[in-house]
Amino acid sequence: MSAVVTLERVTRRYGELTALDDVTLSFPRGRFVAVMGPSGSGKSTLLNCAAALDPPTSGSVAIGGVDVTRLSEARRTELRGKHVGFVFQSYNLLPVLSVEDNITLPLRLAGVRPDRAWLAELVDRVGIGDRLRHRPAELSGGQRQRAAIVRALAARPDVVFADEPTGALDLRTASAVLDLLRDLVEDLGQTVVMVTHDPVAASRAHDTLVMADGRVVDVLASPRPEELAVRLTRLAMEPAA
């Protein structure tokens, strides 16, 4: 399996604190990977480093075979715009723009002409076609997150990182968003890496990484939700090393 993103001995420190501790791993193309772990275990830091949003203190990150830790900030931004999509818990849609303009904004900022047929397919697939001219405030949470997913996919990125994408959604809407992410992987070969606190959500992924104290402590293939819940409860009760 070819890797879309590879982290080699990545450490990220914030002052005295080691948020990510010597992590080596790769995200294979076309897989749906969940990242779990107690609060503060380094999940967001892992995603931010893997997405070239945050430079590691040491170690290297390669996206599509390019070592992003050696690029200037400008080149990193360019590479991110073309190869990486990001979905946040808080959607991060601009309130003054229509949903459609929000979706195409990153493309326009990167000087890339939107692929209209692709955008139409995505919009149709996520079911927000009748919401494109509305402002984000006029959409439900689930619709906003679906718009954010279309935005993340607009440039046909190699990988989509989602940091607790269902964290602000009710159960049913969260389940629909998970179905959507899973379908994008199954039907379009998209690579998705998703942080979640929900073992049921994680069980929809192909693989689940479990983090503790800035390290990946388990890699589980299609774990059952109960198995994950037990593992996480144990980790939460263990004193920090």
Residues engaged in binding ligand ADP (CB under 6 A): 14, 17, 19, 37, 39-45
CB of 117 to Mg ion, least distance (A): 35
Which of residues 44 and 104 has its CB atom nearest to ligand ADP in the complex?
A: 44
- Count the residues of the shown chain that bind Mg ion, applying the rule CB under 5 A: 2
**Which of 41, 44, 69, 191 touches Mg ion (CB under 5 A)?**
44
Which of residues 43 and 151 has its CB atom nearest to Mg ion in the complex?
A: 43
Which of residues 31 and 43 has its CB atom nearest to Mg ion in the complex?
A: 43
Q: Is 45 in the site for Mg ion (CB under 5 A)?
A: no
Q: Is 41 in the site for Mg ion (CB under 5 A)?
A: no
CB of 214 to Mg ion, least distance (A): 12
CA nearest neighbour of 154 among 96, 73, 87 = 87
- Piece of 41-49, 50-58, 98-106, 136-144 that binds Mg ion (CB under 5 A): 41-49
CB of 156 to ligand ADP, least distance (A): 27
Which of residues 99 and 194 has its CB atom nearest to Mg ion in the complex?
A: 194
Q: Is 48 in the site for Mg ion (CB under 5 A)?
A: no
**Partner interacting with residue 104 (select from ligand ADP, Mg ion, none; CB below 5-8 Å by kind):** none
Interface residue list for Mg ion (CB under 5 A): 43-44
